[in-house]
A and B are shown apart, each in its own frame.
Chain A
Amino acid sequence: MPGITGWRARLYDACEGSMLRRARHKRNLFREMTGSTLFLAVGTGTDIRYFPPDLDITAIDISDEMLRRAAPRAMQYPGRLQLMKADALDLPFADDSFDTAATSCTMCSVPDPLRALRELHRVLRPGGRLLMFEHVRSRSRILGRVLDIMTLYTRLGGTEMNRDTVPHVTAAGFHIQRIESAYLDIILAIRAVKEPSNGKSAESHRRSSPSMSAGADSTKGVKKKTGDQKCHTPGKC
Chain B
Amino acid sequence: MLSSTTPRQTMRASSGRDALTTTAFFVGDALFLAFVGAIAAAVMFFAHLWIPHGVWNFIVAMTIGMIAAMIAQMVMAFSAAPLLGSIESMVPSMLVGMAAPMIVCAAHILGWEWSFIGACLAGSLIGATIFTAITIYSIQCHARLRCMAERLTGHTEAT
Contact = CB atoms under 8 A, between A and B. Distances in A.
Contacts of A150: 90-91, 94
A15 B138 contact: no
Given A15-B82, A184-B137, A185-B145, A220 B91 contact: no
Nearest to A13: B82
B148 A237 contact: yes
Interface string A189-214: 00000000000001100100000000
A176 B153 contact: yes
Contacts of A222: 155, 157
Nearest to B17: A24
A170 B152 contact: yes
B150 A232 contact: yes
A148 to B, nearest CB: 11
B85 A18 contact: yes
B159 A179 contact: yes
Interface stretch (A34-42, A77-85, A134-142): A134-142
Nearest to A180: B159
A181 B150 contact: no
A18 B142 CA distance: 22
Contact of B157 (A138, A139, A177): A177
A2 interface: no
Contact of B155 (A142, A175, A231): A175
A139 B148 contact: yes
- Which of A150, A175, A178, A184 counts the most chain B CB atoms within 10 A? A184
Contacts of B152: 166-167, 170, 176
| Interface bracket on A | 35 or more
B8 interface: no
Interface in B57-90: 81-88, 90
Nearest to B78: A15
A231 B95 contact: no
Nearest to A227: B154
Given A183-B88, A220-B157, A231-B150, A18 B83 contact: yes
Contacts of B117: none
A184 B134 contact: yes
B84 A237 contact: no
A17 B159 CA distance: 26
Contact of B88 (A18, A147, A206, A220): A18
B83 A17 contact: yes
A225 B94 contact: no
Nearest to B133: A142
A218 B138 contact: no
A178 B153 contact: no
14 contacts: A135-B87, A138-B91, A143-B91, A143-B137, A178-B149, A178-B159, A179-B148, A180-B159, A218-B157, A220-B158, A221-B157, A223-B157, A225-B154, A232-B150
Given A236-B144, A237-B144, 9 more contacts: A18-B82, A150-B90, A167-B152, A178-B149, A179-B156, A179-B159, A180-B159, A183-B87, A231-B147
The 3 lowest CB-CB distance pairs between A and B, nearest first, are A221-B158, A17-B82, A18-B85
